[in-house]
Amino acid sequence: MRKRRVGVLGTFVWDVIYGRDVRTAPVQEWGGITYALAGFDAALPDDWEIVPIVKVGDDLAREAREFLSSLRRLAPDAAAVSVPWPNNRVELRYLDDERRSEVLTGGVPGWTWVGLQPLLTGLDALYVNLISGFELDLETAMLLRQHFRGPIYCDLHSLALAVQPSGLRTLHPLPRVADWCRCFDLLQVNEDELSMMAPDGFALAATALANGVQSLVVTLGPRGAVYFAPPTFSRLADRDRGANSLSVSSGALRTALMAPSAELVRVKGDPTGCGDVFGATYYSRMLAGDIITDALRAALDAAARNVEHRGATGLAHFLRGELSPS
């Protein structure tokens, strides 16, 4: 029986993470899309497999292949695209439990439509994580939406971040928000990204839902997440029923704050990658047929577990509750 296939589009990033304790050596590990890949590997149903749509610099191509080979649900024909540029590297310095500075170096280019289109063949769903912020430009994203008929999930991630000459990432307003929203069925942002797109969550939800988004999720760090959806959308099977426009035009909106369990909130550790694990788990459970609230609970639990693990290597096994790879 043919397994269904989810494409995972993003960027391999090598992280150097400085914690709040200056006496502790920095953690050097895979970051970027590897956290999402680990999340999918742990949470996808058995009848789905992962097709990475990723580029990696020649300098880290061997290490990227090793990471991909550790994924249990990797499609047999999957492979990263090696490019003749230095791989993206990010220096993260945590200022407190949630705030951090980020400096980007490297030169892996984004996708053109000509390069991306052939890789969509045979995919049943697509997950897009704009790790660098330039994996897709708006024109390519619009062509993607026009030609790909399956559901598309997007974590806007660094789309609302500029790159200064020093490599420092800084927030900047996102132009053409409505046009970006038209490209995706499910949308994820954090509070900082939200602030660059709209005055508040309700304003962004109004724009997103009016332009075809079925579910907007705003992640809130240790406080959980809040979702917005039309009353007619509870699971992915509702996506093509065509009632979204009626709900938006009538002003109807369903929203709720989903808080993590008190036990998980108390866990301290490394929050790097929590949003990526959250999104991958949420989308995995939606692909499995879960309703929004059940999928979000699973995503919050997975993100909280990620705090207890450093780096993406071995993370899928940890999220599954395995003591060691098997």
Model pLDDT for residues 260-291, shown as the tens digit of each residue:
876 556 667 778 899 999 999 999 999 999 99
At which residue do the structure tokens 């109004």 appear?
206
Long-range pairs of 160-166 with CB within 8 A, sequence gap ≥ 24: 160/133, 160/192, 160/193, 160/196, 160/197, 161/102, 161/133, 163/104, 163/133, 166/103
Over the stretch 168-189, which tens digit does the pLDDT of each residue have?
A: 999 999 999 999 999 999 999 9
pLDDT band at 197 (very low <50, low <70, confident <90, very high): very high
Distance (Å, rounded) from C-alpha 264 to C-alpha 107? 37
Distance (Å, rounded) from C-alpha 94 to C-alpha 271? 10
Question: CA nearest 102: which of 171, 173, 20?
Answer: 171
Whether 23 has a pLDDT exceeding 80, the answer reads no
Q: Where does residue 95 rank: exposed (0-12), middle (13-18), buried (19+ CB within 10 A)?
A: exposed
User: Helices 33-43 and 274-287, interaxial angle, to 10°?
Assistant: 40
pLDDT band at 246 (very low <50, low <70, confident <90, very high): very low
Question: CA nearest 316: which of 56, 50, 83?
Answer: 50
pTM of the model: 0.93
Over the stretch 31-47, which tens digit does the pLDDT of each residue have?
A: 899 999 999 999 999 99
Nearest 10 degrees: Cα torsion 97, 101, 105, 109: 80
Gap between the terminal Cα atoms of the chain: 24
Whether 17 has a pLDDT exceeding 90, the answer reads no
Whether 62 has a pLDDT exceeding 90, the answer reads yes
Round the average pLDDT of the chain to a whole number and report it: 91
pLDDT band at 250 (very low <50, low <70, confident <90, very high): low
Whether 301 has a pLDDT exceeding 60, the answer reads yes
Please state the rounded mean pLDDT for residues 138-148.
98
Q: What is the pLDDT of residue 130?
A: 97
Q: Distances from the Cα of 237 to the Cαs of 214, 229, 241, 246, 289, in angstroms?
A: 11, 14, 8, 18, 7
Whether 313 has a pLDDT exceeding 80, the answer reads yes
pLDDT band at 243 (very low <50, low <70, confident <90, very high): very low
Whether 311 has a pLDDT exceeding 70, the answer reads yes
CATH superfamily membership of 4-317: Ribokinase (3.40.1190.20)
Q: What is the pLDDT of residue 299?
A: 97
For the chain, give the percent of residues with pLDDT over 90: 74
What is the domain partition of the chain in residue ranges? Answer: 4-317
Over the stretch 81-129, which tens digit does the pLDDT of each residue have?
A: 999 999 999 998 877 766 778 888 888 999 999 999 999 999 999 999 9
